[in-house]
């Protein structure tokens, strides 16, 4: 059997292992980004109560969608406004289809 002693390897073939954490990655001394505080249950209750009020709710959704105060509330407001716009367009299309069918059914009677 052959001797597996690696002490006899010439220096040009010996590699020193890289320092910990330097395997081709840049190291940074920056702090991790600050996390935004989470919205509490009370914050969500106030948000939903304000949205229930017809005109105030729509205005507050627009204000929250445009503000940088709270990222969670901003994203929620933007998504809710998109949902409202889609529901509005679909209701217009549905109403036009229903009234169009109604008027075409009543046209022979007139």
Q: Which pLDDT belongs to residue 92?
A: 96
SS3 content of the chain, % helix, strand, coil (to 5): 65, 0, 35
Domain membership flag for residue 104: yes
Per-residue confidence in pLDDT tens, the chain, 110 aa: 556 666 666 666 666 655 665 555 666 667 777 787 889 999 999 999 999 999 999 999 999 999 998 999 999 999 999 999 999 999 999 999 998 888 888 777 77
- The pair phi, psi for residue 42, each rounded to 5°, is -65, -40
Q: Is 18 within a domain? A: no
Range of the domain at 81: 42-110
Q: Would residue 57 count as lying in a domain?
A: yes
22 part of a folded domain = no
Answer yes or no: is 66 within a domain.
Answer: yes
Q: What is this structure's pTM?
A: 0.62
CA dihedral 62, 65, 66, 69 (to 10 degrees): 120
Element (H, E) at 47: helix 41-52
Count up the domains in the chain and report the number.
1
């Amino acid at each position: 059997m052959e001797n597996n002693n690696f002490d006899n390897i010439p220096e040009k073939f010996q590699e020193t292992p890289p320092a910990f954490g330097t395997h081709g990655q840049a190291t940074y001394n920056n702090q991790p980004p600050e996390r935004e505080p989470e919205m509490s249950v009370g914050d969500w209750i106030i948000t939903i109560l304000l949205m229930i009020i017809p005109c105030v709710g729509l205005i507050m959704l627009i204000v929250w969608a445009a503000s940088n105060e709270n990222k969670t509330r901003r994203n929620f407001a933007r998504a809710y406004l998109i949902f409202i716009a889609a529901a509005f367009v679909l209701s217009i299309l549905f109403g036009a289809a229903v009234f169009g069918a109604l008027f075409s059914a009543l046209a022979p009677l007139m």
